[in-house]
Chains A and B, each alone.
Chain A
């Protein structure tokens, strides 16, 4: 009996289930979080942005910047496939694209505002090179995704993401990510508190996103995710 259980446990999981687990960890159904992003540029200088996130359902996302002062009051909104940015000095929302870079850093807008791999990608398991991790190779289902393909390593023990490689349509690796400091933000909910996105085209560039607070105990009204709510 024990041998049977171990055999079954060692069997490869369903890729769809893995992606669902990834989405549950990186983009839970509803949450509020505070994070900072430090973008390091070619010359070694860096800029740090502080922000607050709010998410509801699979495709509704709000983001408010609070630091530095030059971007305070700037907001972003995702609703379905639509993204807007609200610039306080412009006093209105402007549409932006999923593939635009997020605050000029090495994440793009969809990396931050669109965590929905189960819906956006088809995947297959490939050799991970690590007995403790699964590796999933993902291929974009449609054009709204950030990347044409992704290789994602997930820890076997708890499905936590460990690293990722992100490829453009030419097949060239554009970025790579390491997920670390896995932290239990709430009882029963653990996710990486630190994500470092390395720019693989300009090796001296990278961006680090550190989540300091995260709660799943939120139920924002749908109006919070409408264009009319921006800059209110």
Chain B
């Protein structure tokens, strides 16, 4: 310290340096960045052709080739255009389905939606900063506010992610957003119109259905607001949504949500995310119509719907809550455990009703009878918001109340091999889906992956019973494939 003082004293008589001439800031130059990947994924899955879920459109062999390009053009010092799009070619072979006699039928090819080419505009938006504290964005973007890894209850905008690989689904929603970021808070307001007409993944109609395809007269949109705070080293989000027929049947619906995330004990990340809503847009089966064959016939005769969205106007608060923890170890491996509670999920008796209804539909199909009223509501779809997206390896549409997601990821088991195991568990019937995978980054630009999907039924005591066959069935025991294996080659550029 004394040395420093002395140096300062010795230099005290030095003449003051001339102030450096002010340099003009460098002129803005447009920037263009492009990257992406080419991927080929070959998969084989043994069809559960005799199961409750029809396998007519699920080829056993499926090849997907994806050409992805991500382009970012900085047109202004504070503005840019970003596009992330994929051209996807699909080829499906070897369809196994149940014929009218109840036997396995083989078809080499079919015109299946699973094998049609498409263009997926994952994101395409313009973002302009008016000031550091105010920016505008318009276009398609995947905005995820909740911290959940496998599932985000508060995400009403996007196509649901694949919990077996949350990085797989990148498609967002069309929206306009205003954001006010401050030092330890941010406020966001967005308007998302639903795509009502599109061709090959390219939208050309929003909000209302066209006159030639008048499905309803309603406007389809969602308004979302988010306030973010960083308080006591904790991320806190408070959310509010108002929607009308936005990828569900709710009209003029207000929903609220919140999330928190924080690191504890140096390496434990703890998070929770909740959506609070009154009622549910879930389809429930009418117990009185599926109790037995006579009840079903009676309902059919009375033209009573077997299934309906009976809790749409229910005023009961039905939260969806996810809570989880992620621990990172010294070798960079991590373990993530999350629990999901859906208040509107099926109880075991309601799940039994659902199985009864599926069985009834299959029986009616086999006999060539018209499907009962409400049956179309039971046809599963991917759920979540938004429109066309990258075909998912696994569509997560949880039906029960209680789920667990467990992910263990270990990088560099040898060289650049990454091993991962994801287990999804329905905690009501204890059926599980095991997804082991191994990825090898052979170079900085080439990655090879081998992924398996193995559904494991739960114990019979907790399973539902198929009335016509007496077989026990649990959620992942009804998976349309006995197992699936994928091999993927991905070249980054």
Contacts and interface: CB of A to CB of B under 8 A. Distances in A.
Interface of A: 5, 8-11, 13-14, 17, 41, 43, 45, 47-48, 68-70, 72-73, 79-83, 87-92, 94-101, 104, 143-144, 187, 217, 221-229, 232
Chain B's interface size range is 35 or more
9 contacts: A13-B4, A68-B492, A70-B441, A91-B143, A100-B267, A222-B132, A226-B184, A227-B230, A228-B179
Contacts of A48: 444
B445 A68 contact: yes
| Residue from A5, A43, A144, A226 whose CB has the most chain B CB atoms within 10 Å | A226
Given A91-B170, A95-B235, A217-B23, A17 B444 contact: no
A143 B144 CA distance: 31
B444 A70 contact: yes
Contacts of A88: 170
Interface stretch (B98-106, B215-223, B258-266, B301-309): B258-266
Contacts of B37: 69
Interface of B: 1-4, 6-7, 10, 20, 23, 33, 35-37, 70, 127, 132-133, 135, 142-147, 149, 166-168, 170, 172, 179, 181-184, 186, 188, 228, 230, 233, 235, 261-263, 266-267, 269, 271, 328, 332, 411-412, 415-416, 441, 444-445, 447, 492-493
A68 B4 contact: no
Given A95-B261, A100-B267, A100-B328, A8 B70 contact: no
A81 B441 contact: no
Contact of B147 (A10, A47, A94, A100): A94
Contacts of B261: 95
Given A70-B447, A95-B262, A96-B263, 19 more contacts: A5-B10, A8-B6, A14-B4, A47-B416, A68-B444, A68-B492, A69-B444, A70-B445, A91-B170, A94-B147, A96-B269, A104-B332, A144-B266, A187-B20, A223-B132, A223-B133, A226-B184, A228-B179, A232-B127
Contacts of B269: 94-97
A225 B166 CA distance: 25
Given A70-B441, A226-B183, A17 B235 contact: no
A221 B183 CA distance: 9
B172 A91 contact: yes
A5 B9 CA distance: 11
A11 B2 contact: yes
A99 B415 contact: no
Contact of A89 (B146, B168, B184, B233): B168
Contacts of A91: 142-144, 170, 172
A23 B1 CA distance: 16
Contacts of A100: 267, 328, 332
B167 A229 contact: no
Q: Which 5 A-B pairs have the closest CB atoms?
A: A221-B132, A14-B1, A89-B167, A228-B186, A68-B444
Given A13-B1, A43-B415, A143-B266, A69 B493 contact: yes
Contacts of B411: 104
A232 B184 contact: no
Contact of A232 (B70, B135, B266): B135
Given A17-B4, A70-B447, A82-B233, A227 B266 contact: no
Contacts of B415: 41, 43, 45
Contacts of A226: 181-184, 186, 230
B182 A223 contact: yes
- From A69, A80, A83, A225, residue with most partner B Cβ within 10 Å: A69
Contacts of A41: 412, 415
Residue of B36, B172, B416 with highest tally of chain A CB at under 10 A: B416
Contacts of B20: 187
B167 A87 contact: yes
Contacts of A17: 1, 4
Nearest to B267: A97
B70 A73 contact: yes
A80 B444 CA distance: 32
A92 B183 contact: no
Contacts of B444: 47-48, 68-70
B412 A9 contact: no
A185 to B, nearest CB: 15
Given A72-B35, A73-B70, A228 B147 contact: no
Contact of B35 (A69, A87, A224, A229): A69
A166 B413 CA distance: 25
Contact of B183 (A73, A95, A223): A223
Contacts of B149: 94
Nearest to B123: A91
A9 B5 CA distance: 9
B147 A229 contact: no
Given A72-B35, A99-B266, A9 B3 contact: yes
Nearest to B171: A91
